[in-house]
């Protein structure tokens, strides 16, 4: 306050200055009370406009990651449900193989085989029932609803299945482990063999050779490709024909708080298509049809012997699917752990921007309380200064 000469009563500058200081201390006191009561350093944009924008973005990220973590845990529960169904199917397949081995012996007669086949057919029906009934939150899991698909790129005589949308053909079954892409038949007239190989992958493990001696409708399983196919004995007619295995439909789990703008939502996120914010996967068809057992029976010795091979292939497929599910469960556990770590670190960063420091605010509160009390007392003193002029007019 500047030096005031003389006595004036119309304007009490001392009172005005004291009132201004009182108002500032009172505003600081109210701010301290607001922060201590809410626990937030930023309660409105005016408190820290830049900090508010940053904290809001970070808060949305944290909330998104929290939901993504719940998604991962739900995916694990869904996979556990699928694995439980496959476990029961695996037990049934073991019993069916036991029956097939029993029926494949001449120690039983035709009537015995008929009796054995009754149980065999009931167990086969139960496999399909379990495959159709196993679901999570209304979504069927192991009935082939979300399995890899197969298509023809050229007409393939009787090598393909009506069940895959190709007319006038025997059954084709595709497992979730099949490598995507085209497969081509090549006929070797010299030794009457038929080879099925990936059209672009020269890896020897992706090649299967069918030797001479197959009968019409014989079913061949090859785990490397994840496909089992029934073929006819006319190998030459299949030469040059192709199958196309595609990703089919898949389950999508959002495991990040953002969208992968560079990847379409329908992209199967594996290999080079892997994305940061979602995991997709297939689960194969575990019904009797999907396992290649639809026409299987034990009514004759030859059928029983053939059923053993079909069951071995079905058991291998179920084991592969269970291994695939187990690997996915382990992956989702690591995904959840990583999300929890990210949530913790982002929440800590958010706290430094948004949350109130109670030690600082409590100290500032005490300071502002003293200032408001002293300012109130000094305001009374300043207001009494003008009364000194009465001494001049007595």
C-beta atoms surrounding 258 within 10 Å: 13
Distance separating alpha carbons of residues 48 and 271, to the nearest angstrom: 45
The pLDDT tens digits for 170-195 are 333 333 345 667 777 788 888 888 77
Q: Which residue has the higher pLDDT, 249 or 177?
A: 249
Question: What's the number of CA atoms in the CB half-sphere (13 Å) around residue 145?
Answer: 14
- pLDDT score of 124 more than 90: yes
Domain residue limits, the chain = 13-39+358-392
Q: In angstroms, what CA-CA distances link 370 with 27, 282, 385? A: 13, 69, 23
* 124 neighbors 116 (Cβ within 8 angstroms): no
pTM (whole model) above 0.75: no
| Residue 340's pLDDT band (cuts 50, 70, 90) | very high
Percent of the chain with pLDDT over 70: 75
């Amino acid at each position: 306050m500047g030096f005031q000469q003389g006595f004036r009563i119309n304007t009490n500058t001392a009172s005005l200055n004291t009132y201004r200081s009182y108002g500032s201390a009172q505003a600081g006191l109210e701010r301290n009370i607001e922060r201590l009561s809410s626990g937030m350093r930023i309660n409105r944009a005016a408190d820290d406009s830049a900090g508010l924008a940053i904290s809001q973005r970070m808060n949305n990220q944290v909330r998104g990651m929290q939901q993504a973590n719940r998604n991962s845990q739900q995916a694990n529960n869904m996979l556990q449900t699928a694995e439980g169904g496959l476990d029961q199917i695996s037990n049934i397949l073991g019993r069916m193989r036991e029956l097939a081995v029993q029926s494949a012996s001449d120690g039983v007669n035709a009537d015995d085989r008929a009796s054995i086949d009754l149980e065999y057919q009931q167990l086969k029906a139960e496999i399909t029932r379990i495959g159709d009934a196993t679901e999570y939150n209304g979504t069927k899991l192991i009935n082939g609803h979300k399995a890899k698909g197969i298509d023809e790129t050229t007409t393939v005589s009787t090598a393909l299945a009506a069940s895959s949308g190709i007319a006038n053909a025997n059954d084709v079954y595709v497992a979730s482990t099949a490598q995507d892409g085209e497969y081509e038949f090549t006929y070797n007239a010299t030794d009457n063999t038929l080879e099925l190989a990936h059209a672009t992958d020269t890896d020897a493990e992706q090649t299967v050779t069918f030797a001479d001696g197959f009968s019409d409708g014989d079913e061949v399983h090859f785990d490397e490709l994840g496909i089992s196919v029934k073929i006819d004995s006319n190998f030459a007619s299949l030469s040059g024909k192709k199958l196309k295995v595609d990703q089919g439909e898949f389950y999508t789990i959002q495991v990040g708080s953002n969208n992968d703008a560079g990847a379409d939502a329908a992209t199967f996120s594996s290999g080079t298509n892997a994305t940061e914010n979602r995991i997709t996967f297939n689960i194969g068809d575990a019904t009797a049809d999907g396992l290649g057992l639809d026409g299987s029976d034990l009514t004759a010795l030859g059928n029983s012997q053939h059923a053993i091979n079909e069951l071995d292939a079905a058991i291998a497929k179920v084991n592969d699917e269970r291994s695939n599910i187990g690997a996915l469960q382990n992956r989702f556990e690591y995904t959840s752990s990583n999300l929890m770590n990210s949530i913790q670190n982002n929440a800590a960063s958010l706290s430094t921007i948004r949350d109130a420091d109670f030690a600082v605010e409590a100290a500032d509160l005490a300071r502002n309380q003293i200032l408001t009390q002293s300012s109130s007392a000094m305001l009374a003193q300043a207001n009494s200064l003008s009364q000194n002029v009465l001494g001049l007019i007595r």
